[in-house]
C-alpha cells in the first residue's frame, strides 16, 4: 500500500536517523497495526499529538493520496526536522504541523482517527481536550500503555521517583479508559501496548 519505493526508502532512512539520534518513535508492530487500521477503516483525516521528526506521520501519509494529517509537536528542533522530512518526502501539502504544546492548541476540525503519542503523563488531558474533534464512530489510539514494561512492575522495584509518578499516571489513564462510558476501549499487546478507544455512535 506504500505509494512508491522511493518513499519507502526515505521512511526507512528517517527511522534510522531517529534511532541514531535517540528520538523516540513508534515500534514497528504499532506502526503496522495503525497502518492496517487506516486502510481497513478507510481513515482519511488523522490528528496526531507528538510528531517527533515525522516518522509515524510519513507512514500514515504513505498509504494513500487522499489521507491528510494534522500533527502537533512542542520541541522546536524536532518540529523543524519534521517539516524538512515531510517536504523531502513531497508530502508537505497533506500535512499541517503545529509547533506548540498540544494542550494550548485549539482545533475545530473533525478527524476519523486521533493518535495520542505525546507526553505519557498527559493522556487524560489530551483525550479530554481532543475528543470533541473526533468524528462519530471515530477512534482514539494511544501508544505506550505499558511504558516499556514499567506499568506491570511492582512500584517498589522502580527506583526513580519520577518514573514511579509517570507509571501512576499511566495507570490512572488505564482506569480512566475503563470507566469511560462514552468509549469502548481495548488495550492491545502490540508494541509497547496500545489503547484503541472507539466512540459510541450515539454520542
Ligand X SMILES: C[S@@+](CC[C@H](N)C(=O)[O-])C[C@H]1O[C@@H](n2cnc3c(N)ncnc32)[C@H](O)[C@@H]1O
CB of 157 vs ligand X, minimal distance in Å: 24
| 38 or 102: CB nearest ligand X | 102
CB atoms within 10 A of CB 184: 13
β-pair type (45-49, 111-116) = parallel
CB of 89 vs ligand X, minimal distance in Å: 13
CB of 117 vs ligand X, minimal distance in Å: 4
| 84 or 137: CB nearest ligand X | 84
Residue 140 has which C-alpha cell? 482514539
> CA dist 112 to 41, 78, 121, Å?
9, 25, 24
Binding site for ligand X (CB under 6 A): 24-26, 49-50, 52, 55-56, 72-75, 78, 101-103, 117-119, 122
CB of 154 vs ligand X, minimal distance in Å: 25
| 100 or 200: CB nearest ligand X | 100
- Which residue has the CB atom at the shortest distance from ligand X? 50
Across the beta sheet with 95-99, what order do the strands follow? 95-99, 68-73, 45-49, 111-116, 134-142, 194-199, 183-188
Amino acid at each position: 500500500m506504500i505509494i512508491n519505493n522511493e518513499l519507502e526508502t526515505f521512511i526507512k532512512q528517517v527511522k534510522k536517523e531517529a534511532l541514531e539520534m535517540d528520538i523516540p518513535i513508534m515500534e514497528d508492530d504499532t506502526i503496522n497495526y495503525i497502518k492496517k487500521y487506516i486502510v481497513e477503516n478507510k481513515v482519511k483525516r488523522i490528528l496526531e499529538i507528538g510528531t517527533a521528526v515525522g516518522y509515524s506521520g510519513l507512514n500514515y501519509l504513505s498509504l494513500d493520496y487522499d489521507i491528510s494529517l494534522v500533527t502537533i509537536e512542542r520541541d522546536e528542533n524536532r518540529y523543524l526536522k519534521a517539516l524538512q522530512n515531510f517536504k523531502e518526502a513531497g508530502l508537505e501539502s497533506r500535512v499541517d504541523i503545529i509547533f506548540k504544546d498540544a494542550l494550548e492548541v485549539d482545533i475545530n476540525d473533525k478527524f476519523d482517527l486521533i493518535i495520542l503519542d505525546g507526553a505519557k503523563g498527559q493522556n487524560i488531558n489530551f483525550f479530554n481536550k481532543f475528543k470533541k474533534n473526533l468524528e462519530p464512530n471515530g477512534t482514539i489510539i494511544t501508544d505506550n500503555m505499558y511504558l516499556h514494561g514499567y506499568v506491570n512492575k511492582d512500584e517498589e522495584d522502580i527506583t526513580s521517583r519520577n518514573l514511579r509518578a509517570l507509571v501512576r499516571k499511566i495507570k490512572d489513564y488505564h482506569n480512566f479508559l475503563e470507566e469511560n462510558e462514552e468509549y469502548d476501549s481495548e488495550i492491545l499487546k502490540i508494541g509497547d501496548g496500545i489503547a484503541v478507544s472507539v466512540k459510541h455512535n450515539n454520542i
